[in-house]
């Protein structure tokens, strides 16, 4: 089910829709559950007939035949229980996989602004621990509810045929139990939601602490990280305490209500025996039915707990699925094909949600194949400008055109396929060097990957490693040097071969020697492409055709290196600050 389809549907309807692709397994599970219930109901009934009719008439062969049939029925029941336990869980796992698939597909559509406001660990919690409890509900929920209802109704009907007055007395306890369950259900649902929210907080804190472990050790702040985790852990303990308190109250009440049925059966049944309205065999049968009756009542109790936990997780899933991406393709969006590379930034303004203006009426034209550098003090909006061109964020004023087409009127995937980005903070996946380069164009041949590495001046370094291109780079590429990581990202863009290139502070994290070494790779990468260079080090933009100086959220100067130095304005001041002539 898509996110749009979930907008106008209730949680139960959405949950039930996930059974549709697995209806065959579901029906098999329910049929076996029905068979289990019928066997449970048959035993007291068959025992009563055997004791009342077969034994008094000395029909011993028939008596033992009935016992043999019951033994066979319980053997069949064991087989059906296997189906329910194994294939029922398989169905639950498949439903969980479908839900996780929909969740992952949806979060890939969400915009940068969503990830700005949500922590990775909390999203991981929704995709893992929350969904496990949904699996348990998907499997056991319908099955337990079905078995319980069939057994309860069947037991009640059969008990009515034995002694209807006694049956009504026993079942008088049920409404009290139902009311008690409804009251406790609300308390447990609230506590379960709080528990899941705090668990997501723990996952977020744990993810942050593990990711920043090197920084924590560098500052000798392990104790501070322990305190932050301890605070999150204590909050979780408090939430768990509230949930278990509500659950304990529920189970304590349940454990009181269930024995009351046995006491009522013996007490009232004994009174009926005294009055001659019931015999001992019927009382034994009643007692057997009470035992049969208690099992589904316990299953119903377990179902309530599963339902609360599962639906709490499912509500968090639906809540996330109902989040609409800020950036969406227009209904009539066109595919951007055969891009030349003309970029027009036309009177663009931008601010983040409820934030101050980051860009203020910026205008810049970059013709096909030209290299334009954007420089200026930190916080001036340089990197933000780069994120607007591939439409990671939408402009709040003006427009951005690629080959004369507004980026808001073309499909996002086609736009981003034509733009290559090399950033300061290079992200490498925890795989091999080959895999990380090949990510630039899935399906590329090994020779194409090797050629991209050569053009990025990385090939010789990789071949000097013991495992060559199969070298494992570690989490976020920690096994490689800063220059090697940057050249992997350059090779990735070479392989992608886009007509538009954005270099966003691509060398600012590197030392001068490494920067000079890979500058040739950048120059090679920029050939024949429209290139936008965001730079802090002015030495890296000397070869740019033009330089735009952004200060106070707008373009204050624009021209070649020589023109801007001669002008002796803001750019000249930046050059003097960096001791560049």
Site of tokens 């990197």: 383
Q: Which is nearest to 424 in space by CA: 481, 497, 486, 477? A: 486
pLDDT tens for the 581 residues of the chain, in order: 666 777 778 888 888 888 899 999 999 989 998 898 888 888 888 887 788 778 788 888 888 888 899 899 999 999 999 998 888 888 888 888 888 888 888 888 887 777 777 776 677 777 777 777 787 788 778 888 888 888 888 888 888 888 888 888 877 777 777 677 767 767 777 777 777 777 767 766 676 676 666 566 665 667 877 787 777 777 777 777 777 887 788 778 777 777 777 788 888 888 888 888 888 888 888 777 777 776 777 777 778 777 877 887 888 888 888 888 888 888 898 998 888 889 999 999 998 877 788 898 999 999 998 999 998 887 778 888 888 998 988 999 999 999 999 999 999 889 988 988 888 777 888 889 999 899 888 888 999 999 999 888 888 889 998 889 998 887 767 788 877 888 888 888 888 888 998 888 776 656 666 667 667 777 777 888 899 988 877 877 888 889 999 888 888 889 988 888 888 888 888 888 876 75
Q: Determine contact, residues 290/262, Cβ cutoff 8 Å.
A: yes
Hey, where are the domains in the chain? 10-321, 343-577
Cβ neighbours for 95, distance < 8 A, ≥ 6 positions apart? 18, 19, 22, 134, 135, 138
Q: Cα separation of 26 and 24, whole Å?
A: 5
At 539 the pLDDT is: 77
- pLDDT tens string 75-88: 999 999 999 888 88
- pLDDT tens string 246-303: 778 877 877 777 777 778 888 888 888 888 888 888 888 877 777 777 677 777 777 8
Q: What is the CATH number of domain 343-577?
A: 3.40.50.300
Q: Assign residue 559 a region: left if phi > 0, alpha if psi is -120 to 50, beta otherwise?
A: left
Q: What is the CATH number of domain 10-321?
A: 1.20.1560.10
What is the token pair recorded at 553? 């959220």
Beta strand spans in 355-491 (E): 357-366, 371-375, 397-402, 405-406, 419-423
Site of tokens 């002539």: 581
Q: Cα separation of 113 and 276, whole Å?
A: 78
Angle at 364 between CA 410 and CA 383, to 5 degrees: 75
Q: Determine contact, residues 240/199, Cβ cutoff 8 Å.
A: no
Q: Cα separation of 335 and 327, whole Å?
A: 16
Q: Which is nearest to 168 in space by CA: 297, 264, 288, 292? A: 264
- Other C-beta atoms lying within 10 Å of the C-beta of residue 389: 22
Q: Average pLDDT over the chain, rounded to whole?
A: 82
């Amino acid at each position: 089910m898509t996110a749009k389809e979930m907008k106008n549907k209730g949680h139960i309807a959405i949950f039930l829709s996930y059974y549709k692709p697995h209806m065959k397994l579901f029906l098999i599970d329910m049929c076996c559950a029905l068979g289990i219930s019928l066997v449970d109901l048959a035993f007291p009934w068959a025992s009563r007939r055997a004791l009342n009719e077969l034994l008094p008439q000395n029909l011993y062969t028939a008596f033992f035949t009935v016992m043999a049939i019951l033994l066979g029925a319980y053997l069949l029941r064991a087989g059906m229980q296997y189906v329910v336990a194994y294939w029922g869980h398989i169905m639950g796992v498949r439903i969980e996989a479908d839900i996780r698939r929909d969740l992952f597909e949806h979060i890939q559509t969400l915009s940068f602004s969503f990830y700005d406001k949500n922590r990775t660990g909390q999203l991981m919690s929704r995709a893992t621990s929350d969904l496990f409890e949904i699996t348990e509900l998907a499997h056991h929920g319908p099955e337990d509810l079905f078995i319980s209802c069939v057994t309860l109704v069947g037991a009640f009907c059969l008990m009515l045929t034995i002694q209807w007055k006694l049956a009504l007395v026993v079942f008088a306890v049920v409404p009290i139990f139902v009311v008690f369950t409804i009251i406790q259900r609300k308390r447990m649902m609230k506590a379960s939601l709080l528990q899941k929210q705090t668990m997501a907080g723990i996952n977020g804190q744990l993810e942050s602490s593990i990711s920043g472990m090197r920084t924590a050790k560098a500052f000798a702040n392990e104790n501070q990280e322990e305190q932050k985790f301890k605070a999150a852990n204590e909050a979780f303990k408090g939430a768990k305490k509230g949930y278990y308190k509500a659950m304990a109250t529920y189970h304590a009440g349940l454990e009181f209500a269930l024995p009351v049925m046995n006491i009522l059966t013996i007490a009232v049944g004994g009174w009926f025996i005294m009055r001659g309205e019931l015999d001992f065999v019927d009382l034994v049968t009643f007692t057997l039915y009470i035992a049969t009756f208690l099992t589904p009542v316990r299953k119903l109790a377990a179902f309530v707990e599963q339902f609360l936990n599962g639906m709490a997780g499912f509500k968090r899933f639906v809540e996330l699925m109902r989040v609409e991406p800020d950036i969406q393709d227009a209904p009539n969006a066109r595919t951007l094909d055969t891009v030349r590379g003309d970029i027009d930034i036309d009177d663009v303004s931008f601010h983040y949600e409820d934030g101050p203006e980051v860009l203020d009426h910026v205008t810049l034209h970059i013709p096909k194949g030209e290299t334009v550098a954007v420089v200026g003090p930190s916080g001036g909006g340089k990197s933000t400008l780069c994120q607007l061109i591939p439409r990671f964020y939408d402009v709040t004023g003006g427009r951005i055109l690629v080959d004369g087409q507004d980026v808001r009127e073309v499909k996002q995937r086609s736009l981003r396929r034509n733009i290559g980005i090399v950033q300061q903070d290079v992200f490498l996946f925890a795989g091999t060097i080959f895999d990380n380069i090949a990510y630039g164009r899935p399906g590329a041949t090994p020779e194409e990957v090797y050629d991209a590495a050569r053009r990025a001046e990385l090939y010789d370094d990789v071949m000097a490693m013991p495992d060559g291109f199969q070298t494992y780079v570690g989490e976020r590429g920690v096994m490689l040097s800063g220059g090697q990581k940057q050249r992997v990202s350059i090779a990735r863009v070479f392989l992608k071969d886009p007509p538009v290139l954005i270099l966003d502070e691509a060398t600012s994290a590197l030392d001068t020697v490494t920067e000079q070494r890979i500058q040739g790779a950048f120059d090679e990468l920029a050939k024949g492409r429209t290139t936008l260079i965001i730079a802090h080090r002015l030495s890296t933009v000397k070869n740019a055709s033009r330089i735009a100086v952004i200060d106070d959220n707008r373009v204050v100067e624009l021209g070649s290196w020589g023109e801007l130095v001669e002008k002796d304005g803001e750019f000249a001041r930046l050059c003097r600050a960096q001791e560049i002539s």
